Amino acid sequence: MVRYGAIAVGLFFSGWLFISFLVGGYSYVTEPPAATVEHEFHLAPKHVAFSFDGPFGKYDKAQLQRGFQVFKEVCSACHSLKFVAFRDLEALGYNEAEVKAIAKQWAIKTPSVDPATGEASTRDPVPADHFPKPFANNVAAAAANNNAIPPDLSLMTKARHHGSAYVYSLLTGFQDQPAELLKHFPDAKTPEGLHYNPYFANLNLAMAPPLSAEGQVTYGDGTKASVDQMAQDVSAFLTWTAEPKLENRHRAGLATIIFLLIATGLAYMSYQNIWADKKKAAV
């Protein structure tokens, strides 16, 4: 009796699910979802090649150093790298003295207050310190950025699909709103104080184009600092901040594949050797 009851319950829920599927399909066909400006004009990230792409990819330390320079001179005014310590920069090719010199270009606020000025005291960072935040708190960050809080960039390329290409596309994607958008969605005009970028989720963001002119940064290695080059370099650097062990992971993956291939070959040969006599006997 219990079995029949279970079958009846199962048939009821299966039937209800089937009916819901039919009703949903009919509603979709008769009343399709309305087109939205984000759906129509949001673009997938541009295709851009990096040295660390693919299973054999490696970081270009010269590019990472250039990317760090772009972050330091352009991005660090608003964005933080709270998960990166100054000593981590040694992986980019900087020696200990250079890391200490870089750290001194920032200031770490302390809990104490300077009695002469009433402001928070600061100290010089040491290599073990993490990059300090550019603003005291979110209120100060929002007040300085049109009520938008600049996100931390430590893990940004891990937080976005096609992260490296996404950052590159966002930095090079600022443009005027297309006439076709305003024709079909006249109410979607970019609000005052925001900037149109088709690679951002809702097409408008508070950040002004950070890379706006060629030569905005003077590279120490003589590389021409075009907007495209700076965008690629800082995208590579932010990929490193999110995945500093990427090269180790690639090497471990390659070693694992080689091991599995060898183990598979040995297992097959062992199988042939063990069962060879029995196969002959069976024949």
At residue 58, the pLDDT reads 95
Determine the average pLDDT of the residues in 22-46.
Answer: 80
CA atoms within a 13 Å half-sphere pointing along the CA-CB vector of 160: 24
| 36, pLDDT greater than 60 | yes
Q: pLDDT, tens digit, for every residue of 62-77?
A: 999 999 999 999 999 9
At residue 279, the pLDDT reads 63
At residue 123, the pLDDT reads 83
At residue 25, the pLDDT reads 78
At residue 1, the pLDDT reads 64
Compute the distance between CA of residue 47 and CA of residue 142 in angstroms, rounded to an integer. 32
At residue 70, the pLDDT reads 97
Annotated binding residues, written as ranges, equal: 75, 78-79, 207
Q: pLDDT, tens digit, for every residue of 169-222?
A: 999 999 999 999 998 888 889 999 899 999 999 999 999 999 988 999 999 999
> What is the average pLDDT value for the chain, to the nearest integer?
89
Q: What is the identity of the amino acid at 218?
A: T
Give the number of other Cβ atoms within 10 Å of residue 70's Cβ: 27
At residue 88, the pLDDT reads 97
Q: pLDDT, tens digit, for every residue of 80-121?
A: 999 999 999 999 999 999 999 999 999 887 776 666 666 667
Compute the distance between CA of residue 75 and CA of residue 17 in angstroms, rounded to an integer. 51
At residue 26, the pLDDT reads 73
Task: Give percent above pLDDT 90 in the chain.
Answer: 65
Compute the distance between CA of residue 78 and CA of residue 174 in angstroms, rounded to an integer. 18
- Rounded to the nearest 10°, the torsion over CA 257, 258, 259, 262 is 120
Which residues on neighbouring strands pair with residue 204, listed in sequence order? 196
Locate all alpha helices (DSSP H) within 130-199, ordered by sequence. Answer: 138-144, 156-159, 163-172, 179-184
**Over 210-255, what HEC string results?**
CCCCCCCCCCCCCCCCCHHHHHHHHHHHHHHHHCCCHHHHHHHHHH
Q: pLDDT, tens digit, for every residue of 108-166?
A: 877 766 666 666 677 888 999 999 999 988 999 999 888 899 999 999 999 999 999 99
Instruction: Characterize the bridge pairing of strands 195-196 and 120-123.
Output: unpaired
Q: What is the identity of the amino acid at 50?
A: F
Q: Name the burial class of residue 257, with classes exposed (0-12), middle (13-18) and buried (19+) by CB atoms within 10 angstroms of its CB.
A: exposed
pTM of the model: 0.83
Q: What is the CATH number of domain 38-84+152-244?
A: 1.10.760.10
Q: Quote the tokens at residue 272.
A: 């042939």
Q: Name the burial class of residue 11, with classes exposed (0-12), middle (13-18) and buried (19+) by CB atoms within 10 angstroms of its CB.
A: exposed
At residue 274, the pLDDT reads 82
- The vertex-246 CA angle with 240 and 250, nearest 5°, equals 155
Annotated binding residues for heme c, written as ranges, equal: 75, 78-79, 207
Q: Contacts for 176-185 with beta carbons within 8 Å, 24 or more apart?
A: 178/41, 181/37, 181/40, 181/41, 184/37, 184/40, 185/37, 185/40
